[in-house]
Amino acid sequence: MEESQKQVAPEQGASDWQPAAIILFGPPGSGKGTQAKLLKAALGVPHISTGDMLRERIASGDALGLEVKEIMQAGRLVPDEAVNRLVADRIAQPDCRRGFILDGYPRTLPQAEELDRLLGGRGYRHLVIHLKVDYTKVIARIAGRRVCPVCGTLYSLTSNPPRQPDVCDRDGARLVIRDDDRESVIRERLEAYERLTRPLLDFYRDRGSPLYEVDGSDGSPEEIFDRIRGLLKLK
């Protein structure tokens, strides 16, 4: 455990510290994005969300965005080649030299193998955090999400509702449900996770990677982060 702590604690400044990739696993709605942001604040390394990057490309209307828009709206996984290209470009940026947090990648074995190649070529170590959640709670959690189409603020009808129903607190815009947050799409995404992503846990276990499992079903985001902090022995 002490070795894993050295890998993920840039503030230690040890001369033998190697940049680390923290890989967050968990089904859609498990809170990966929230935990990634808390880890980013604690460690001072970038949070890389492939979902956010893809949505940005869709909003920009470029060739890749048009290619993946229909796929994402149907709840299917974006082709490995496109996602690998996005991640390779992102981790080549200067702010990733001391490590980064991956949220939503890898999702398939070919992506994991490509990530191994990318990390090995850059001298990175890695560790895996798996957020375990009850699927019934996941469906309820995601189906209750609303987003502001103007400023992008995300709300939860159960844990973080707007002050006025269906109205953004910041700009008064009418909140919407993202296409990939609809229940039928959520179920498709969970099935894809079970079929393609969960085997990655066995992949990392078999190769002896540091892997920590955290209960993400109950508790506030801060309470769940305290569990991660305890496992990684972060201050």
157 class by beta-carbon count within 10 Å (0-12 exposed, 13-18 middle, 19+ buried): middle
69, 107, 141, 146: the active-site residue: 107
Verify whether residue 174 is a known catalytic residue. no
Over the range 59-77, which residues count as b (16 or more CB within 10 Å of their CB) and which as e?
Answer: eeeeebbeebbeebeebeb
Verify whether residue 69 is a known catalytic residue. no
Q: Tell me, what's the pLDDT at 10?
A: 37
Q: Tell me, what's the pLDDT at 19?
A: 61
- The structural domains of the chain, ordered by start, are 19-232 (3.40.50.300)
55, 57, 141, 145: the active-site residue: 145
32, 69, 125, 141: the active-site residue: 32
| Structure tokens belonging to residue 141 | 């959690």
**118-163: per-residue pLDDT in tens?**
988 888 888 999 999 888 888 888 889 999 999 989 998 888 899 9
Q: Tell me, what's the pLDDT at 11?
A: 39
For the chain, the average pLDDT equals 84
Verify whether residue 233 is a known catalytic residue. no
**178-205: per-residue pLDDT in tens?**
888 888 888 888 888 888 888 999 999 9
Q: What is the dihedral of CA 83, 85, 90, 92, to 10 degrees?
A: 150
From residue 204, how far is each of 127, 198, 230 by CA, in Å? 9, 11, 21
Q: Any residues with CB less than 8 A from the CB of 78 and at least 6 apart, and which?
A: 54, 68, 71, 72
55, 141, 146, 189: the active-site residue: 189
Which stretch of 8-12, 75-79, 173-177, 184-188 has the lowest confidence by average pLDDT? Answer: 8-12
Verify whether residue 145 is a known catalytic residue. yes
Looking up tokens 């201050």 gives 235
Predicted confidence band of residue 63 (pLDDT cuts 50, 70, 90): confident
Q: Any residues with CB less than 8 A from the CB of 141 and at least 6 apart, and which?
A: 29, 156, 158
Q: What's the CA angle centered on 90, arms 227 and 119, to 5 degrees?
A: 70
Closest by Cα among 111, 141, 96, 129 to 209: 129
Predicted confidence band of residue 22 (pLDDT cuts 50, 70, 90): very high
Verify whether residue 178 is a known catalytic residue. yes
**1-16: per-residue pLDDT in tens?**
333 333 333 333 323 3
- Where on the phi/psi map is residue 219: left (φ > 0), alpha (ψ -120 to 50), or beta? left
Q: Tell me, what's the pLDDT at 122?
A: 83
Query: Residue 158 is inside which H or E element, if any?
Result: none
37, 40, 137, 178: the active-site residue: 178
> Cβ distance 157 to 146 under 8 Å?
yes
- Which residue intervals of the chain are DSSP H helices? 2-8, 32-43, 50-60, 63-73, 80-91, 109-122, 135-143, 183-192, 199-206, 221-232
Percent of the chain clearing pLDDT 90 (strictly above): 38
Q: Tell me, what's the pLDDT at 20?
A: 84
Closest by Cα among 201, 192, 209 to 120: 209
